[in-house]
Structure 1
């Protein structure tokens, strides 16, 4: 049974606007950031959706860093740095936490997953205490799998429940079938007292029931229902009227 407060480790995220020197420079110039005061998260699954460049991944990354994760992904114990490309937004965020502390956590980024995989291989060249980092990812080097397989292996093996999981476009390497399997896995982990914050373009993943969906746009951030998301409406229109849509696109 899933109760309302079960698994909620982060209650909300606040931007300390009074400390921002100017809203004319990135990332504070992004409408979603400029209008940000407080985002109240769902105790189980929260989605950030919107067009490319709307600021959803920027805010997601800032939340992850503010919580204590490495900007390039992994658990809070990963501290490698390949390229310092994250913004300063995390320095201006206040993370309002619940009294419970997570036992597990992971920041999964499609953009820097290769760097994470490389760091794991480097760490395992000198295994600590006989165990290897890759053992908790399924035992096979992530570089020796396709991008999709490595993503899925991480999600299925490394996520153990009772945790906070922050995912940036996890569908990037996954087939539709694997995306549906991911929805099932999310539900398993939610039942194990976990909380998810996910930035996605996938109408399959964001279909997870009873989730909170925040839409990022030029107007800022607003809560939307699944059927009102552009991802759902455009995908449905295309599939229901494929020939007509293709004729329009190919005029």
Structure 2
């Protein structure tokens, strides 16, 4: 099956200085070409590994507003995006998405405010007030009301506001949308979201970017070992 985005390439020869942010992040500096899964691609890694920076760069290069929203959103509460998007080349498939969205946890409040200030945006989001909900409820309502078939969706740490049960609910929503010909590119810390069947998982670290299996992710290994050996972990950690 063809996809909306086939791959992303760093145009290294065009970067003026690979020693400056964000190109000094090891995973970004080592980036050449990454193939993207036609359904779900996941970027995982420690804080500061560059996964949110890379996802933001892909989103902006794809035409989304840096703080989030659809391609029709054009606002800036505070410009903070990196220059990475200027040096990324997206290889697109033969299909074109009919819709799409960039959802990032840290700036969703700003997106919700923008929706409230625009009647057309309110109607497009199901006439719900995200500010009248908890952060987690607002996240799920956005996906339920605004994520439609044949869409490209870029998510930056969507689990930030979600309980484990709500993360599973999001996983089901993602699956329903994948079956409606959608493509997802997601950065996450959640071992629950990482478990999506057949997802392509890239691990970002000081060593660069490597493709890993779910059971090889640090998040899965640590969570499994902690739950199986909780007392030993706590004893070593707290003593």
TM-score, normalization: structure 1?
0.93
Partner SS for 2:106: coil
Aligned residue in 2 for 1:43: 38
Aligned residue in 2 for 1:236: 224
Aligned residue in 2 for 1:60: 55
Aligned residue in 1 for 2:159: 171
Correspondence 1:183 to 2:171: yes
Following TM superposition, the consecutive aligned residue runs of length 4 or more in structure 1 with deviations greater than 3 angstroms are none
Deviation at 1:225, TM superposition (A): 0.3
Partner SS for 1:96: strand
Deviation at 1:39, TM superposition (A): 0.6
Correspondence 1:81 to 2:69: no
Q: RMSD over aligned Cα, in angstroms?
A: 0.9
Q: Structure 2: 5+ residue runs without aligned partners?
A: none
Aligned residue in 2 for 1:95: 90
Q: Structure 1: 5+ residue runs without aligned partners?
A: 125-131
Alpha-carbon distance in 2 for matches of 1:164, 1:17:
26
Partner SS for 1:52: coil
Worse overlay, 14-23 or 62-71: 14-23
Alpha-carbon distance in 2 for matches of 1:218, 1:224:
15
| Aligned equivalent of 2:15, options 20, 24, 42 | 20
Alpha-carbon distance in 1 for matches of 2:37, 2:84:
22
Per-residue CA distance 1:41-66 (angstroms, 9 max, x = gap):
00100000000000010010000000
Aligned residue in 2 for 1:71: 66
Aligned residue in 1 for 2:138: 150
Partner SS for 1:111: helix
Correspondence 1:220 to 2:208: yes
Correspondence 1:249 to 2:237: yes
Correspondence 1:133 to 2:133: no
Deviation at 1:121, TM superposition (A): 1.1
Worse overlay, 164-173 or 20-29: 20-29
| Aligned equivalent of 1:196, options 175, 184, 189 | 184
Aligned residue in 1 for 2:101: 106
Aligned residue in 2 for 1:127: none
Number of residue pairs aligned between Structure 1 and Structure 2: 239
Correspondence 1:10 to 2:5: yes
Partner SS for 1:112: helix
Deviation at 1:179, TM superposition (A): 0.6
